[in-house]
Amino acid sequence: MEKYPVLRPTYFKDFKCIGSDCKINCCSYGWNIVLDKNTYLKYKSIKEPKYLSNLINNCIIKNKDTYLIKHKNKKETFNLEIYEDGKYENKDIEFLHSICPFEDEKGLCCIQKEMGSNYLSDTCKIFPRINKFIISNYELSLGTGCEAVCELLYNIKDGIDFELVEDYNYSHIDFKLKYNENNKLINYFDDIRLICIQLLQLKDISMDNKMILLSILMNKINDLNKQQKFSDIEIYLNSFFDNIDIYSSLFDNIDINQGIFFDIFKSLIVKNIYSHKEVFLTSSDIISKFNKLYEELDSTEDRFCKTYLKYKEKFNYLLKDKEYFIENVFVNLFFTQGYPFNDNYSIKDCLIIFIFNYIIYKGVLTIYFSDKESIEKDELIKITTIFSRIYMYQNNYDLLKEFKKQKLDTLAHLINLIQNS
């Protein structure tokens, strides 16, 4: 098999599935596992062991030209104290817990155990790896919807590095960014991405301020692109870091109005709370605290919540020795998603999605750790893994539509959301 130059983060080579030690494993998350016809026929040829052959016959269903592994469902009920309508109530919450039928009692895949990793479907074999083809180059990365990936990022204290290596041409490509002669901005893709990642890894600047600078940078490039001033893009990129100080006044110019952020937070977090047991058990306390915050917010004329400000101050204090991890998570997201733009989204759309992920993630962490005395590694990794699976790698069309409908896609609104989240 022929090898190609592949760009990847240096930590990629250290990734290894932790198998049954994974607390939020892939097999118990209700994901649809799609099989192509050749994989299905390979599975059907398995005659021994008999239990595996029976599982294959009973648990795979045809869906048009593909085949789906039919999950088995297990009901679980939890009694939890939930804050609603200004008071706490004990409620029984029932979950239909969806489990892959090929997962054994130890959390291992019996197909891989009995037949080897070559028998895994593409979905199971690849996750959390993300394969891209950007203009003319292959790229490999790892998504943070896997706790083993988050663990690796937690252990990188000096920022993510990247390397060009010789690797195989992968048949499965998650997405492609193709050269388009009608889109001249693509010619600047590498330069723009390099500046963006360098910006996100700047030292002695808070993540909030780096996100503000990123918003300014990408908005300006978007404007120059719309005006067809392509020669000015190179000039702007080359001088950006020399002129950073002119934007410093924006860092402290906070327009106190948390209402927009709180409204977005409530509509999105509450919407997804019942999507999975792990999500609910992690989020129920967040939702309970948030409902109290929302009640306080709505009782003020200026829609400002003093309690949340205290939460933020405490979280920023606790985060001091952990902010490198937040940086790693978002540098990784920027790279894995092919930003600053890809075939699905414009540079402005990518910015909105990226900032959205940041403000909601930050809000979740701020509320979750509001009554903690420290940010423990295991809790931080768990929340990041769950959040990544729900938001960071999902379809964002509805989000973009809502942002544009409410006219929240302006630079002023993005800065406001970053500062008030």
328-379 pLDDT, tens digit each: 999 999 999 888 887 677 888 889 889 989 998 998 899 889 889 999 999 9
Q: Which of 59, 4, 355 lies closest to 171 in space, CA to CA?
A: 4
- For 345-393, the DSSP string reads S-HHHHHHHHHHHHHHHHHHHHHHGGG-SS--HHHHHHHHHHHIIIIIT
**Rounded to an integer, what distance in angstroms lies between the CA atom of residue 419 and that of residue 421?**
6
Give, for 6, the enclosing helix (H) or strand (E). Answer: strand 3-9
pLDDT at site 153: 96
* Residues contacting residue 316 through CB under 8 Å, at least 6 positions apart: none
pLDDT at site 287: 75
Length of the chain equals 421
Contact 337, 139 (CB under 8 A): no
Burial code of 57-89, b = ≥16 C-beta within 10 A, e = fewer? eeebeeeeeebbbbbeeeeeeeeeeebeeeeee
The single-letter code of the amino acid at 278 is E
pLDDT at site 178: 66
* Residues contacting residue 133 through CB under 8 Å, at least 6 positions apart: 139, 173, 175, 176, 177
**Rounded to an integer, what distance in angstroms lies between the CA atom of residue 305 and that of residue 297?**
5
Long-range contacts of 74-83 (CB under 8 A, 24+ apart): 74/98, 74/99, 76/277, 78/277, 78/280, 78/281, 80/284, 81/288, 82/284, 82/287, 82/288, 83/287, 83/288, 83/289, 83/291, 83/292
Domain spans, the chain: 3-175, 250-420
* CA geometry: angle 354, 356, 362, nearest 5 deg: 105
pLDDT by residue for the chain (421 residues), tens digit each? 677 788 899 999 999 887 777 777 777 666 677 787 888 888 888 888 888 888 888 888 777 777 888 777 767 776 666 656 666 667 776 666 677 888 887 777 888 888 887 878 777 778 888 888 877 788 889 999 889 999 999 999 999 999 988 876 566 666 666 666 667 888 888 899 999 999 999 998 899 999 999 999 999 999 998 898 988 998 999 998 888 888 777 666 566 677 788 887 777 665 555 555 666 666 667 777 887 888 877 777 777 888 888 999 999 999 888 999 999 999 999 999 888 887 677 888 889 889 989 998 998 899 889 889 999 999 999 889 888 887 777 667 777 777 777 777 888 888 888 888 8
Tokens 């605290």 sit at which residue? Answer: 289
Helix (H, G, I), strand (E, B) or coil at 93: strand
pLDDT at site 335: 93
pLDDT at site 81: 62
What's the pTM value of the predicted model, to 2 decimals?
Answer: 0.87
pLDDT at site 150: 95
Helix (H, G, I), strand (E, B) or coil at 175: strand
- DSSP letter, residue 34: E
**Rounded to an integer, what distance in angstroms lies between the CA atom of residue 212 and that of residue 250?**
8
Helix (H, G, I), strand (E, B) or coil at 322: coil
